[in-house]
Amino acid sequence: MTANRKLIAGNWKMNGLKADALDLASDLAGRLKGAGPVAFDMLVCPPFPLLFPVGEAIADSPLALGGQDCAPKTSGAHTGDVAPTMLKDAGCRFVILGHSERRADHGETDAVVNAKAVAAHKEGLVAIVCVGETEAQRDAGQANAVVSGQLAGSIPAGATADNTVIAYEPVWAIGTGKTATPDDVKAMHAHIRTELDGKIAGAAKVRILYGGSVKPGNAAELMAVENVDGALVGGASLKADDFWAIGTACR
Ligand code: PEP
């Protein structure tokens, strides 16, 4: 099977003000423009208020823009929510959905994530659907079953390899400095690929990202694992040198 082109996605979470965000995004955009052909696509997902300025700053570069969430509706009386149309308007091509922090902090269920993915797809956005088990679930031997359930519930019927990316993020590895072993990542990504087969046409082409304390020191090893088609990066995406090093670790 030919390997999919890697996607290196930065989830800035609730970090950064306008000046820092513009510095970071412009730095990455400049590196991408000057680098010539690279083995990865790069994406940044800033907080909502920074989408427009960052989008304008990187508009003439290959650096892609994404939101960290979106509402399952297009418009209306939904105070505090942001519609996929608004993300599109700001220049986004991607949106992260069902991140474990949203599942935990905002009670997002698989059904909610599914409805958001439908709305995102309607606007032509690529949905990055996050799945992953907690430490207790892994210790209880339930990791595969938990991830299977999340995939079954969160991925909508209209999902394709072009409009959907999966991010496997074991909850216990996010922001903790703990990383899943390459063998565990290999086993879970193979499991996810099998689950996608039959659910999404052209499942082999769906990019499956690994997320959880990816940094320059472990990126080459993780990105070389079979069925790992990129990374979803939190902390290390806030420093241009680190995020760039994760990209250039891709072969
Ligand atoms: C994330 O938030 O998606 C993430 C993987 O964070 P970190 O890289 O900081 O573990």
Averaged over 91-102, what is the pLDDT?
A: 98
Q: Is residue 165 part of a domain?
A: yes
Task: Give the pocket of ligand 1 (CB within 6 Å).
Answer: 11, 169, 174-175, 211-214, 232-236
Averaged over 232-247, what is the pLDDT?
A: 98
Predicted pLDDT at 201: 84
Q: Is residue 145 part of a domain?
A: yes
Question: Given pLDDT bands bounded at 50, 70 and 90, which one contains residue 3?
Answer: confident
Question: Given pLDDT bands bounded at 50, 70 and 90, which one contains residue 247?
Answer: very high
**Which residues, in sequence order, are CB contacts of 44 under 8 Å at separation 6+?**
9, 10, 12, 24, 25, 28, 54, 58, 63, 64, 65, 66, 237
Question: What's the mean pLDDT when you consider all of the chain?
Answer: 96
**Does residue 2 have a pLDDT over 70?**
no
**Does residue 188 have a pLDDT over 60?**
yes
Question: Given pLDDT bands bounded at 50, 70 and 90, which one contains residue 229?
Answer: very high
Ligand 1 centroid–CA 76 distance in Å is 32
Distance between terminal CA atoms of the chain? Answer: 16
Q: What is the domain-level CATH number for residue 135? A: 3.20.20.70
169, with CB counted inside 10 A (0-12, 13-18, 19+), is: buried
Q: Is residue 202 part of a domain?
A: yes
Specify the pTM: 0.97
Ligand 1 centroid–CA 7 distance in Å is 15
Structural domains in the chain (count): 1
**Which residues, in sequence order, are CB contacts of 9 under 8 Å at separation 6+?**
42, 43, 44, 45, 66, 94, 96, 128, 167, 209, 230, 231, 232, 233, 237
Q: Is residue 76 part of a domain?
A: no
- Taking the CA of residue 177 as reference, the ligand 1 atom at the shortest distance is 10
Predicted pLDDT at 1: 56
User: What domain range includes position 188?
Assistant: 6-13+21-71+81-248
- Taking the CA of residue 215 as reference, the ligand 1 atom at the shortest distance is 8
Q: How far is CA 195 from the centre of its chain?
A: 19
- 18 annotated as ligand-binding: no
**Which residues, in sequence order, are CB contacts of 17 under 8 Å at separation 6+?**
none
User: Which residue among the candidates 169, 189, 191, 195 is catalytic per the annotation?
Assistant: 169
Q: Is residue 1 part of a domain?
A: no
Strands (E), 49-190: 64-67, 94-97, 126-131, 164-168
Q: Whose CA is nearest to atom 4 of ligand 1?
A: 234
Q: Is residue 33 part of a domain?
A: yes
Q: Is residue 175 part of a domain?
A: yes
